[in-house]
């Protein structure tokens, strides 16, 4: 079982060659502790990988409702990230 957890953890695959990461995490997440994202982000920085982490104050795990300001900010951050890293400029 221990090996399965290791294989499932993104921290097992941190390297300088990792694709750029965008971590979006609500400070009120009761499903995944905020510390998990902070640990992953720090490990990636130390490895020399590109990582951006945004924490949304008061946001729960699922904060994607249309009227939620955190959801709008997360969507904007995701769009900006994708435009920077995936969309080819002509």
Residues 6+ apart with CB under 8 A from 73: 54, 56
Q: Where are the domains of the chain?
A: 25-90
Phi, psi angle pair for 22, to nearest 5°: -120, 115
**Where are the extended beta strands (E) located within 3-50?**
21-26
Residue 90 confidence (pLDDT) above 60: no
Q: For the segment 44-77, what is each residue's pLDDT rounded down to a tens digit?
A: 999 999 999 999 998 888 876 667 888 888 989 9
Residue 14: which residues within 8 A CB-CB, separation 6 or more?
A: 40, 43, 44, 47, 49
pLDDT at residue 70, as a whole number: 86
User: Is the model more confident about 79 or about 89?
Assistant: 79
pLDDT over 80 at 81, yes or no = yes
């Amino acid at each position: 079982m221990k090996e399965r957890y290791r294989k499932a953890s993104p921290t097992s695959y941190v390297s300088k060659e990792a694709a750029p990461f965008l971590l979006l995490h609500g400070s009120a997440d009761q499903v995944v502790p905020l510390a998990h994202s902070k640990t992953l982000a720090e490990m990636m920085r130390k490895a020399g990988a590109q990582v951006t982490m945004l924490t949304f104050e008061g946001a729960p795990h699922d904060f994607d409702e249309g009227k939620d300001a955190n959801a709008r900010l997360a969507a904007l951050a995701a769009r900006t990230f994708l435009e920077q890293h995936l969309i080819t400029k002509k």
